[in-house]
Amino acid sequence: MRIYMQIPALEDKPPRYYQLLLQKDLIEGWTLVREWGQTGRSGRVKQDHFDDRDSALAAMLRVRDTQLKRGFKVVFMQGQEQPLSENAH
């Protein structure tokens, strides 16, 4: 599953992005990859490992909700198996 969020350019500041990627890993767990930064530049990346999909998905949604409160807007979602909470929009 992938969620891509963005804050539009403001005054002289370029747009910023925040991307969340949830993927099954090779050691029978799940990895939440977070990438963020200014659009068009190298961003920062953080990876967190979870033993099960439910824990990883809950963490992903918490991060998404935090970024929505900071002004990010969801631009793109891929791989959604079931509807996410109403906060997605």
Residue 5, helix vs strand vs coil: strand
Confidence at residue 88, expressed as pLDDT on a 0 to 100 scale: 46
CATH number at residue 70: 2.20.140.10
In a domain, 33, yes or no: yes
In a domain, 52, yes or no: yes
Tokens describing residue 75: 């631009």
In a domain, 67, yes or no: yes
In a domain, 62, yes or no: yes
Q: Which residue range is the domain that position 49 belongs to?
A: 2-80
pTM of the model: 0.81
Q: CA separation (Å) from 62 to 12, 26, 30, 65, 85? A: 30, 24, 16, 5, 11
Domain count, the chain: 1
In a domain, 89, yes or no: no
Q: Give the whole-angstrom CA distance, residue 54 versus residue 1.
A: 13
Question: Mean pLDDT in each 10-residue stretch from start to end of the chain (89 residues)?
Answer: 91 90 91 94 93 95 96 88 50
Confidence at residue 26, expressed as pLDDT on a 0 to 100 scale: 86
Q: Give the whole-angstrom CA distance, residue 57 versus residue 50.
A: 9
